[in-house]
Amino acid sequence: MSFTVLQDDAWKAPPEAKELKNPKPGDKKSIKAGAKVYKQFCVACHGSSGKGDGPGSKALNPKPADHTSERVQAQTDGELFWKITNGKGMMTAWGPMIKEDQRWDLVNYVRTLAGSK
Ligand code: HEC
C-alpha cells in the first residue's frame, strides 16, 4: 500500500506538547551543549547545518526535516522537544537515549539554525 502525505498533513505534535515549557534559557552554555549533542547524534541525517542533507539522509523517505526551515522554526519549543523525544519512523525516539535537559539544549541549538545557509 502506498499513500501520499500532503505537506499540511506533515508530522504534528499533539496539542499538549505545544504548551510544554522550555526550562532552559537559550544562552551560550545551553546552545554549546546542544551543538555537541547535535553533532554526535543528529548531523548524520540532518546535516552539519541542519538542512536535512546529512550523509544518512540519502536513502530516507521521508527526508530528515530541514531545521533551518520556516515550517520547523514556526513550531513551539515544546513541539520540537516532543518530536525529539518521541520520534517517528526513521526519526529516532531520543527520549530513552538523551537526557531531558540535553533534549532542551538541542531545541535551543536548533533555534540557532534558523535561516542558516
Ligand atoms: C536516522 C536519521 C535521523 C537521525 C539520526 C535524526 N533524525 Fe530527526 N528526523 C529524521 C527524519 C527522517 C525526520 C522526518 C520524519 C517525518 O516527518 O516523518 C526527522 C524529523 C525531525 C524533527 C521534526 C521536524 C518536523 O517538524 O518535521 C526534529 C525536530 C528532528 N528530526 C530532530 C532531530 C534531532 C535533534 C536529532 C538528534 C538528536 C535527530 N533529529 C536525529 C531522521 C533523523
Ranges assigned E (strand) in the chain: none
Dihedral sign (CA 97, 103, 105, 107): positive
**From the alpha carbon of 89, which atom of ligand 1 is closest?**
18
Instruction: Ligand 1, residue 10: give the atom nearest the CA.
Output: 17
- pTM > 0.75: yes
Question: Is the CB of residue 107 less than 8 Å from the CB of residue 80?
Answer: yes
* Structural domains in the chain, sorted by start: 25-112 (1.10.760.10)
Question: How far are the Cα atoms of 25, 28, 81, 99 from residue 108, in angstroms, in the given order?
Answer: 8, 10, 10, 14
pLDDT at 10: 79
Pocket of ligand 1 (CB under 6 A): 10-11, 41-42, 44-46, 56, 60, 62, 64-65, 72, 75, 80, 83-84, 88-92, 94, 106
Three-state DSSP at 91 gives: strand
Nearest ligand 1 atom, CA 60 = 12
| Ligand 1 center to 1 CA (angstroms) | 24
Would you say 99 and 58 are in contact if contact means Cβ atoms under 8 Å apart?
Answer: no
Contacts of 5 (CB under 8 A, 6+ apart): 62
In tens, the pLDDT along 59-115 reads 999 999 999 999 999 999 999 999 999 999 999 999 999 999 999 999 999 999 998
Dump pLDDT digits (tens) for 45-57: 999 999 999 999 9
User: Which residue's CA is the nearest one to ligand 1's atom 42?
Assistant: 91
